[in-house]
Chain A
Amino acid sequence: MNASEYTEKLTALANKELFGDEKMQLEKEILENPALAEEFKKHLIAQELLEAFISQDLKKKLSAFPLPQEKPESSGAVIRKLNPSRFKWAIAASVSLILGVSSYLFMENKYSYQQLANNYVPQMQEVRGTNMVTDDILEKASSYITNNKSEMAITLLTSITPDDDRFFIGQLLLGNAYYQTDNYSAASNAFIQSTKSTDDEVKYQGQYGFLLCELKLKSWSEENQRLLKKLSENEFFIYKNEAVALSQKLKIAKYFN
């Protein structure tokens, strides 16, 4: 092969366009010839540079695009109308409890309630008399839950009426608060309410909370098992991994019951 032919072949190999015997032969030559190996390295660098250039170009194009439509038509207005940072704390608190409960059930300290609560301390705000708006109620309630003051959270959350579009988030928190007080029936009811939310994240977390109640109430069923399986396979459920772990532990537990 002359120099030009080598260049063509090395380019093709670096660009993953060389196959079969031809590829094996050239790879063998590269291994045996350090000068050729050096030359091939340049071709690999060239390919990486082109990839980097393409990525930069795509990045520029994407930055010029308007952000896509945010919400599926089937979803409601719960999230849209809620201040995102407040929503974050509300959900974080509820999730921390759910995960904490999960760890309690299965004696795993990794997700102990306290540990999670420490990582999700909400920004505290003063309560403005008795005229708290729903966002404030959610924020305050979530802070009560993370501080183990569930009764106070329950008092606040039960004031949110079903006509309020934050009702379902409130129910999710209420489920957590009741759970903390060992009132699993009431927790289960609240979680069931939250599963009616049109927001997927609230719905999935409500379903997971409901399943944990079912375990506590010793009413685990095949249907629950199917729901857990669905959650553990749901890429959009933010605690999918927890659901997978729970599912696996339940399988093991089955042998001992």
Chain B
Amino acid sequence: MNSSLETMDLAAAIRSGGAKREQALSTLYNVTGLFFKIKQMVTNHGGNEEDARDVFHEGIITLDRKIRQDEYEDRGTIESYLFGVCRFIWSNQQRKNKRVELKDDFTPYDQSTGENPLDTMLNNEGQNLVATLFNQLGENCSKILSLWKLSYSMNEIAEEMGLPSGDNARKHKFRCYQKLLGLIDNSPELATNLKNLGQ
């Protein structure tokens, strides 16, 4: 890897959240040759450079989520895992689009055999829904809650948000979370979009 961060450390840094996560993702993004290999894989299977870039970005987003949700196992290198994720994403997209029938049997990476509610969220309709909901929640609340979700400490949140203390940040976070729950109550489309959740 072209960084002082070793592979194992990258997963740990992403897991720990905060600024370390951002640094780790940036390092991973810039691993020399990784994007090139993904681009080769995509262009050899009916895609173009733009497709490759989208797949690469989706791969990093998926990897980030898998690691933070403890669904990533440290087997092999993180680059090969990311490559596997990207292969799965591209093959899945191809199947959906039915543009090219892939004949080599892409193996889905571990734990990724089906769509989860988040995938549903990230389709176009879901994206609009999420954007609308977080608009209603407001910029500050959206930021506080996402920092909390990314494992920032209350003191770090206070610092990021310009709040006087960690305790104050905790109160803000509680109020924002209540507001989010209220918005969910008033948004019946969410129940439709996430019908499998919690079952």
Contacts and interface: CB of A to CB of B under 8 A. Distances in A.
Contact of B32 (A69, A87, A238): A69
Is chain A's binding surface mostly helix, strand, loop or mixed?
helix
A43 B197 CA distance: 11
Given A59-B61, A84-B43, A235-B83, A54 B146 contact: yes
Interface string A58-93: 110011010111111101000100001101100110
Contacts of A57: 146
Interface string A1-35: 00000010001000110000000000000000000
A119 interface: yes
Nearest to B149: A50
B198 A72 contact: no
B180 interface: yes
Interface residues of B, number: 60
A88 B146 CA distance: 42
Contacts of A75: 33
Interface residues of A, number: 56
A42 B61 CA distance: 24
A241 B105 contact: yes
A174 interface: no
B181 A51 contact: no
A182 B183 CA distance: 70
Interface of A: 7, 11, 15-16, 37, 40-59, 62-63, 65, 67-73, 75, 79, 84-85, 87-88, 91-92, 99, 111, 115-116, 119, 200-201, 235-236, 238-239, 241-242
B121 A48 contact: yes
A35 B14 CA distance: 36
A46 B184 contact: yes
17 contacts: A16-B69, A46-B180, A48-B194, A49-B134, A52-B122, A55-B61, A56-B127, A56-B131, A58-B61, A59-B57, A68-B34, A99-B104, A115-B103, A235-B83, A239-B104, A241-B104, A241-B105
Interface in B119-168: 121-122, 126-127, 130-131, 133-134, 142, 145-146, 149-150
The 4 closest A-B pairs by CB, nearest first: A235-B80, A72-B33, A52-B121, A41-B198
User: Which of B31, B70, B142, B184 is packed against the most chain A CB atoms within 10 Å?
Assistant: B184
Contacts of B177: 11, 46
Contacts of B35: 67-70
Given A55-B61, A58-B60, A88 B43 contact: yes
Given A46-B181, A53-B130, 17 more contacts: A50-B149, A51-B65, A52-B127, A53-B145, A58-B25, A58-B61, A68-B29, A72-B36, A85-B43, A91-B44, A99-B103, A99-B104, A116-B103, A119-B103, A200-B37, A201-B44, A236-B80
A42 B103 CA distance: 42
Interface string B8-40: 000000000000000001000111111111011
Contacts of A79: 40
Interface in B165-186: 177-178, 180-181, 184-185
Contacts of A111: 103
Contacts of B103: 99, 111, 115-116, 119
B186 to A, nearest CB: 11
A48 B80 contact: no
Contact of A44 (B178, B180, B198): B198
B53 A67 contact: yes
Contact of A16 (B70, B150, B180): B70
Most B Cβ at <10 Å: residue of A47, A50, A79, A92: A50
A57 B49 CA distance: 22
A200 B32 CA distance: 14
A234 B68 CA distance: 26
A119 B36 contact: no
B84 A235 contact: yes
Contact of A45 (B104, B146, B184): B184
B67 interface: no
A218 to B, nearest CB: 27
Contacts of B33: 69-72, 75
